Structure formats: C-alpha cells, structure tokens
Amino acid sequence: MQLDPASGWCQGVRLCPSPNFNARPEGEISLLVIHNISLPPAQFLTGKVQEFFQNRLDVTEHPYFAGIADLRVSAHFLIERDGTVTQFVSCLERAWHAGVSCFEGRETCNDFSVGIELEGTDDLPFTDAQYQALTTLTRQLQSAFTGITAQRICGHSDIAPGRKTDPGPAFDWARYRAALAKAAQEEEEQQ
C-alpha cells in the first residue's frame, strides 16, 4: 500500500468512496484516531460496514440497523479481520468519524484527524493481520502527514470519553506502539 499525499488516496487498497465527508476547514492533518466497528455487532466480514458508510445499508436486515438508520458517518479507512484495508474518504477531506470530540483542548477532531476503523468489538482480540495492516497504514500516514506523531495517535474513547469506548480494552496499545517504533527504526536504517 502506498499513500499519495497529493490526493490523499492510498494505492493498493480497496476503494469504496463514501458520500459522507466534507472539506477540512484548514487542511491540517495532525491526529490519528483508532476506532472499532462491526455490523451487526460482533459479526465480521459481512460487508455491512461498507454499505453503512455508503448510505446503502438495508435497515430491515437486522434489528440493530434500525437504530443507526439515520446516521451519516464514515471513516477514512477500515481494516477487516483478514487485514484487508478499504478507504472511503481521501485523507485530505474530513470524514465523519469522531463526532463530538476533543483532543488536548481542541474540539471537533474531524477537522484535523484521520479515522481508522478496525473491524471488531471492544472485548474481542484483534487479529495479527489487523495489527500488521494498521502498522503499515499508520507509517504511511505518518510519512505523508508529519503532524501525526506517536503522541498524536489515540482511541475514539480518548477524544470522546463517556460517550465512546472504542477501540476498547481488547486493543493492544503496547503491541501497536512497539510495532510502530520497530517499523520506524527499520525505515531509518534503510535510508
């Protein structure tokens, strides 16, 4: 996978454009927000997240869908259980993933963040393939948008405490951060 900083789109991933985005107010990209999602809850590889982000979800297919029928949301990326990466919105645009949020005193995190959804739940472990894809994608984002430092990577629960719980206790932050540090070191050694 290769992120093109000029377009904000990644080559080598699935593209599934969402209509749920708008322009960033200042174009700044300096925060990465990790989420989790599964539709229906705790069911994986259903294709329903893609339909949801494209406003094509058949709300009669599952009782849970009725409660989200009127939502218009998106994220920049989804990483499925098998490590497949799908992009919905250019990184240069504002995806609608964070909602009411605040990071280091600054509200409306959608304005300056990239959102990555991991297919999963708060309490089920994520897969090796997801951690590998997340690490690779994060390094691409950090190379393109230098404002996304290690200190500016957080969970949805960090920017919307009390309202959101994802990516949840099953997400292994130590594993992810160690993999990022190792990848950064390997890249530096190759230069």
The set of catalytic residues is 117
Assigned token pair, 104: 């280091």
Assigned token pair, 189: 């050694």
CB-CB neighbours of 62 under 10 Å: 15
What is the DSSP pairing of strand 85-87 with strand 14-15? parallel
Cα 79 to Cα 76, 126, 138: the distances in Å are 10, 10, 12
CB-CB neighbours of 114 under 10 Å: 27
